[in-house]
Amino acid sequence: MQTRARTLMIQGTASSVGKSLLVTALCRIFRQDGLRVAPFKSQNMALNSAVTPDGLEIGRAQAVQAEAAGIAPTVEMNPILLKPEPGMRSQIVMMGRVAGTMNWREYHSRREESTKVIASALQGLRSRYDLILIEGAGSPAEMNLQHQDIVNMYVARLADAPVLLAGDIDRGGVFAQLVGTLDLLEAEHRARVAGLIVNKFRGEPSLFTPGAEFLERRCGVPVLGVVPFIERLRIADEDSVALQQRPRNRSNAALLDIAVISLPSISNYDDFLPLEHEGGVSVRFADDAAGVEDADLVIIPGSKSTVNDLNWMRRHGFAEAIAKRAADNRPVIGICGGCQMLGARIDDPERIESHQSALEGLGLLGIVTRFETVKRTTRVRAQSACRSFLTAEVSGERLDGYEIHMGRVARLEGTRAAFRIVARNGERAAELDGAVSESGAIVGTMIHGIFENDSIRASLLRALAKRRGLEWQKRPDAAPARDAEYDRLATAVRASLDISAIRRIAGIA
């Protein structure tokens, strides 16, 4: 008879203290140690999402954690995903499918349904694995939200999970973070906290020894380790908080300069992580139109609110700057929402994304987008459909990616497609994707994750270098493989934490 998996939960003193990466590291560590381990986060609020092999949508962080654990992501790992929209509303993705768009009051009225979904998902995971590593959200000491909690101590109690509490020393005030959080917890919840983790430490760890001794005396809970700040990990961030720390200015040492427009509702910006890790390439996020004028490449990224973000681009001069680049045949790529913006028109007759039923696009690609009520979430395999600066060297080669969108794109007569989709979720398909301008300098695609393909990334960088009269050579510091990055993360965390103590806390023999 299969016994239920053990559980261990990582909570934090605030958002963006490194909970996701700690869970990712522990997934890889326990996998290396021979355990069948899976991640779980009951409710995730993020615009970075992923598609499971069966075509369901979950938070990007849980897909990353599953990959670190050596397993395929499933919808049970993140049963509820909230995707913020303008007007203080969120699209609710429940068990991988859109359940509607709601404000917080409307969503909270469905708490009973949400808790049943969470309990069922957790039970399903526990029947298949040895250990479930659970990630909390924000802080367990948000006193105004205690009665609505379905992601922190509520889940710890549901899973009967011991809790490790992580604080971020890089942002300062880690003693107040940890001590204050523990002091605010109810006695029942405080009793679940079995260890403290000091995360993102820059410097010699032994310098923190007096601090660890203070925390243990003050809190009566062991400090299980001091984890260093790990530079330049090629591991996707959970949400847009990390986007604020991305570069805004061009690196003088870089050979190539790529500007990503920092849309207010930018989504799946982890698309560009592989490019950020290429030696000699500067990837920066542009907040104003002047930031895209001299770039070797401008990318209009995905958006959770395409119409609102297109209006924002017009108000802030980006539309004019993009049109000027197009007139000069200088490279522009639009991905998903960015692709739709480059088209002739966006139709939204049912007001799915905004209050506008139709909006003129930038007019640089011969496509028209129509929003529909059913979201497409698929993993795809594709091939280049025509030659452009992006695909000059990948003709006929299979490329992997994924789709997450509610807007369907149709090409106007005479418009060339960017890619040919040959498979969706493992099933044979035959459909054209995106568009390419007549000059080949403007490319739009609805496929996320294309830069994860080494061949298309190399083709792009060689084409950009060639436009500057240079020859692109693969650098020794080229983008590392994701699997190697999980190992690098695990090595650093294993060396920093008392893994034996964590095994005892989790009840793992």
Give me the mean pLDDT over the 402-425 stretch: 95
Residue 125's pLDDT band, with cuts at 50, 70 and 90, is: very high
For residues 163 and 410, give the distance between their C-alpha atoms in angstroms, rounded to a whole number.
50
Give me the mean pLDDT over the 268-282 stretch: 91
How crowded is the C-beta side of 441, counted as CA atoms within 13 Å?
Answer: 16
User: 3-state secondary structure string, 142-179?
Assistant: CHHHHHHCCCCHHHHHHHCCCEEEEEECCCCCHHHHHH
Task: Enumerate the active-site residues.
Answer: 336, 448
Give me the mean pLDDT over the 403-414 stretch: 94
Q: Please, what are the domains in the chain?
A: 6-234+484-506 (3.40.50.300), 242-478 (3.40.50.880)
**138-175 pLDDT per residue, tens:** 999 998 888 889 999 999 999 999 999 999 999 999 99
Give me the mean pLDDT over the 225-245 stretch: 77
Report whether pLDDT(477) > 60.
no
Q: What are phi and psi of 52, to 5 degrees?
A: -75, 165
Give me the mean pLDDT over the 2-16 stretch: 90
Residue 8's pLDDT band, with cuts at 50, 70 and 90, is: very high
Inter-CA distances, 113 with 79, 110, 148, 274, Å:
12, 5, 13, 39
Residue 242's pLDDT band, with cuts at 50, 70 and 90, is: low
Residue 395's pLDDT band, with cuts at 50, 70 and 90, is: confident
**13-42 pLDDT per residue, tens:** 999 999 999 999 999 999 999 999 999 999
DSSP β-ladder status, 80-85 and 332-335: unpaired
Q: Are 58 and 81 in contact (CB under 8 A)?
A: yes
Q: How confident is the prediction for the chain on average, in pLDDT?
A: 93
Give me the mean pLDDT over the 446-469 stretch: 94
Q: Is the dihedral of CA 55, 305, 445, 62 positive or negative?
A: negative
Can you point out the beta strands (E) in 221-356?
A: 223-228, 256-261, 266-267, 281-286, 297-300, 302-303, 332-335, 345-347
**326-364 pLDDT per residue, tens:** 999 999 999 999 999 999 999 999 888 888 889 999 999
* Other CB atoms within 10 Å distance of the CB of residue 320: 13
The more confidently predicted of residues 247 and 357 is: 357
**292-335 pLDDT per residue, tens:** 999 999 999 999 999 999 999 999 999 999 999 999 999 999 99
**85-114 pLDDT per residue, tens:** 988 999 999 999 999 999 999 999 999 999
User: 3-state secondary structure string, 116-136?
Assistant: HHHHHHHHHHHCCCCEEEEEC
Report whether pLDDT(237) > 80.
no
pLDDT at 1: 37
Residue 233's pLDDT band, with cuts at 50, 70 and 90, is: confident
pLDDT at 354: 82
For residues 248 and 268, give the distance between their C-alpha atoms in angstroms, rounded to a whole number.
18
pLDDT at 240: 55
pLDDT at 479: 62
DSSP β-ladder status, 419-424 and 367-384: antiparallel
pLDDT at 145: 84
